[in-house]
């Protein structure tokens, strides 16, 4: 049992070390600052600037977070505080099914529904021209994929607030909404933050569905109707294909390392936020 535990704990470390080891040739060829923040991506001439990929990844993640977080928060509050017991009984399997759908299906659905919706309907509203394969489409598909995870965790969090606390709010003269706002949400803050963190880490690392709708063009653009190229898509699209180019193998390993470190950082930041937000500390 102890060995199993040690193995589980060692895995992330082993993955990190292996990726770092494989990235060394690239790190020897260029400075890490250049690799991370240069936007010059020209593998044929030995230029590996990862900023467009990192930027795209962050962009779709932030968009998906903006779409999914408020939705999940409100849905979880409704389900735990206002909905009938019957609705909750129906919603639980629905959420589980949503979480179990393979990401390729989300990707297909994105191509069939979200991409045309963004290209044909949403972009013209803003007077823009878009194929639909865009950062925005990636953000929307990711948001839908993250919803079951976040929602499930938020529901559990709100359910764990003791009735006695809500009774205290009511008996002091708070309305139901004031009780939710001042007591339930406050008491649940660590849980809310960890649900958000889980959603973000999942969004940042999600590969297939995003790759199918995001367009996969390496460039930096603030316009969400244009295509982007997130890190996981870069790795999945090119690994095994472009390895004849010198250092490309090492570059993809470095991309994986960056992905790994960012997901780790997201986790660490949220862990810190959870500790800092602990209501016990006021």
Q: Which of 91, 111, 174, 242 binds another protein (CB under 8 A)?
A: 174
Q: Which of 164, 222, 240, 244 binds another protein (CB under 8 A)?
A: 164
Distance of closest approach, residue 202 Cβ to another protein, in angstroms: 28
Residue 274 binding another protein, by CB under 8 A: no
Q: Under rule CB under 8 A, which residues in 28-87 are in contact with another protein?
A: 84-85
Distance of closest approach, residue 232 Cβ to another protein, in angstroms: 38
Residue 167 binding another protein, by CB under 8 A: yes
DSSP string, 195-211: HHHHHHHHHHH--HHHH
Distance of closest approach, residue 160 Cβ to another protein, in angstroms: 13
Q: Taking contact as CB under 8 A, which single stretch among the options 34-42, 55-63, 173-181, 199-207 is the one that binds another protein?
A: 173-181
Q: Taking contact as CB under 8 A, which single stretch among the options 34-42, 106-114, 158-166, 267-275 is the one that binds another protein?
A: 158-166
Binding site residues, another protein, CB under 8 A: 84-85, 162-176, 178, 182-183, 186-187, 279-282
């Amino acid at each position: 049992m102890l060995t199993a535990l040690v193995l589980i704990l060692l895995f992330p470390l082993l993955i990190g070390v292996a990726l770092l080891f494989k990235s060394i040739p690239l790190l020897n060829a260029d400075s890490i600052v250049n690799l991370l923040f240069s936007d010059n991506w020209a593998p044929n001439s030995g230029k590996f600037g990862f900023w467009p990929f990192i930027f795209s990844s962050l962009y779709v993640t932030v968009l998906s977070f903006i779409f999914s977080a408020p939705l999940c928060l409100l849905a979880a509050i409704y389900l735990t505080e206002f909905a009938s017991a019957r609705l909750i009984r129906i919603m639980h399997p629905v959420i589980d099914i949503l979480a179990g759908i393979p990401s390729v299906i989300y990707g297909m659905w994105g191509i069939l529904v979200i991409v045309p919706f963004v290209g044909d309907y949403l972009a013209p509203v803003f007077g823009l021209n878009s194929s639909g394969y865009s950062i925005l489409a990636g953000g929307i598909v990711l948001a839908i994929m993250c919803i079951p995870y976040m929602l499930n965790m938020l529901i559990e969090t709100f359910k764990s607030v003791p009735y006695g606390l809500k009774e205290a709010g009511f008996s002091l003269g708070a309305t139901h909404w004031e009780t939710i706002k001042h007591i339930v949400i406050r008491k649940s803050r660590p849980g809310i933050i960890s649900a958000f963190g889980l959603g973000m880490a999942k969004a940042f690392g999600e590969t297939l569905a995003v790759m199918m709708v995001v367009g996969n063009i390496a460039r930096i653009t603030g316009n969400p109707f244009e295509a982007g190229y997130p890190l996981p898509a870069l790795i999945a699209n090119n690994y095994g294909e472009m390895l004849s180019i010198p250092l490309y193998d090492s570059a993809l390993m470095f991309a994986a390392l960056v992905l790994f470190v960012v997901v780790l950082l997201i986790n660490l930041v949220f862990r810190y936020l959870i500790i800092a937000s602990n209501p016990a500390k006021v």
